[in-house]
Amino acid sequence: MKLVIDIGNTLVKAAVFEQNTMMELEKFAKEELEKKLLNFFKNFPNIKDLVVSSVGNSDLLDNLPRQIRVHYLSNDWKFPFSNHYSTPKTLGADRMVLASGAVLQFPKQNRLIIDAGTCITYDFVDSSDCYQGGGISPGLGLRLKALHNYTAKLPLVALDNPEDFVGNSTKESILSGVVQGVVHEIDGFILEYQNRFPNIITIFTGGDAVFLAKRLKNTIFANSNFLLESLNQTFQYKITND
């Protein structure tokens, strides 16, 4: 049994897996990490491995039970794809895990993985299992904060559904601009990839995936837990191929 955690820019996502079956899932703030880990180990005493993906430092993982083996995702792991990024060492751990999951779950296809979280990342792995690259842009929350932080008078607006495409107040105009802007961006990216690469599947995940998925025109495979599932599968791939 494994505990798989992803320490993101904003939240920690954690899941207990028995092989490929997810037994428990939680999302929480970084400040709660130590308490939550101890609860997982108490509720699932058969956990032997802790698999960690982190966009920053992992100093938060102290005082673990001695029997727990900790595995930190790194570029040195074996992945089921070849990395054609021109700066492979700078490719984020989360993006590598998403690419790995796409290869393992959708063999012999072109794959576009879109992760809508703090940032929106686009990652493309071709049908020969070559990671080619992608894109990074600000997520919904970052865009709302930027409008407030870098202007004199615009308010900080909480994410919500715009009432109409034509915003009839400052708040509604911000929501329309940010939400519709992201939707058109993602639809545009998907269309560009579809035009260039045949037989392509689009995988859509991340904290804002549920909010955005119903607004997209293009056919996608939406799974908000795809990163954790991919991290579990990547670890299993690693220990099988080491």
Q: Quote the CA–CA distance of 122 and 124 in Å, as a whole number.
A: 7
Q: Is-catalytic flag, 59?
A: no
Please give the C-alpha separations between residue 73 and each of 56, 58, 81, 130, 212, in angstroms, as whole numbers: 12, 11, 15, 20, 29
- Residue 15, classed as helix, strand or coil, is strand
Tell me which residue has tokens 């698999």: 51
Is 26 exposed, middle or buried (CB count within 10 Å of its CB: 0-12, 13-18, 19+)? middle
Residues in the chain: 242
Given the residues 6, 94, 115, 123, the one annotated as active site:
94
Tell me which residue has tokens 């607006």: 157
Which are the catalytic amino acids? 94
